Amino acid sequence: MINKKARRKVLYIILKAMSSLVLFLPARWVLPTGSLLGGIAYLVLSRERKNAIENLNIAFSHEKSARDIKRVCRESFQNLGINLIELLRFPKLDRENIDKLVTIKGEDRIDTAIENGKGAIMLTAHLGNWELLAAYAALKGYPINVVARNIYYEGYNDMLVRLRESKGMKVIYREDVKRMFHSLKNNELLGILADQDTDKVDGVFVKFFNELAYTPTGPVALSIRSGAPLIPCFIIRGNGRHTIFVEEPLPILRTGDKDKDLLVNTERYTKVIEEWVRRYPSQWVWLHQRWKTKPKV
């Protein structure tokens, strides 16, 4: 039986071969292939499918039928498949053609933040094609940094970093808090995904779909200490294109009570994320164990 390390290497080789193929073929041919790959993953990856359906039941058991939950689950996997193909096609993207693929609403809110001189924290979620959101900002000339984690297999990680940096964005690993503050001090954008459960970062338990979920406090802590606005922004797929929605900066409560401020402001941004996931459930990553960590009794 192939061990985990060897299996990852084989998958990496397949991914490299795929990257060459998707760059050679037209988008109208390869994007449907992404949907097909996602559909196959839905059928084959039983553990991930089970996680996704369990999470969907937590969120929508009183709102959606079992049939609808399975449909949303399958479409979520398909969205991830298309995301992969679009990511591998990043070398095709440039300043001249990005507008054919992505439009943005509320861009003036980013411009205002830059004019104010304290940078901005672009808070988003694993919704739509979040990698494309950051690529768009970079190609439009915004100085954007994305907060990332090291992926377990070095080959995957190096490939992802190269693809991101090829569009002009800079990668900051989540352990490097000093560099995050430095980027904001330099009046740059800092993109953060803040919708997953990880015990590697500081967090608090807040309601997400009426269920307590361990949620990172990092975005709020950065905003309070730096003075940078916390701006929710999301990218949504539709009709072969993508639309970025930039919301008004979140009002940040600053009472001087650190624990209270972290909790209340994390609740606020989590509520915004939930609203967007409710609107476009098929475009969120349900296979992640969002409610894995439990509060201590």
**Residue 212: strand pairing partners:** 207
**Tokens 């164990």 belong to residue:** 289
* Residue 145, domain extent: 4-283
> How far, in Å, are 45, 119, 121, 229 from residue 187 at the CA level?
43, 4, 10, 11
Give the whole-angstrom CA distance, residue 74 versus residue 41.
9
Cβ atoms of 51 and 287 within 8 Å: the answer is: yes
Both structure tokens of 68: 């609808």
Q: How many structural domains does the chain have?
A: 1
Phi-psi region of 256 (alpha: psi -120 to 50; beta: other; left: phi over 0): left
Give the whole-angstrom CA distance, residue 262 versus residue 260.
6
Phi-psi region of 168 (alpha: psi -120 to 50; beta: other; left: phi over 0): left
Please report whether residue 289 resides in a domain: no
| H or E element, residue 201 | none
- 80-89 residue pLDDT tens: 999 999 999 9
Please report whether residue 292 resides in a domain: no
Of 21-30, 155-164, 259-268, highest mean pLDDT: 259-268
Angle at the Cα of 282 from the Cα atoms of 276 and 288, rounded to 5 degrees: 85
More reliable by pLDDT, 294 or 297: 294
pLDDT score for 1: 47
Alpha-carbon 6 to chain mean position: 28
Please report whether residue 11 resides in a domain: yes
pLDDT score for 58: 95
Both structure tokens of 35: 């949907």
27-31, 51-55, 190-194, 246-250: least confident range: 27-31
Both structure tokens of 289: 């164990």
Please report whether residue 202 resides in a domain: yes
Angle at the Cα of 174 from the Cα atoms of 219 and 282, rounded to 5 degrees: 70
pLDDT at 93 over 90: yes
Mean pLDDT in the chain? 93
Give the whole-angstrom CA distance, residue 54 versus residue 61.
9
217: number of Cβ within 10 Å: 22
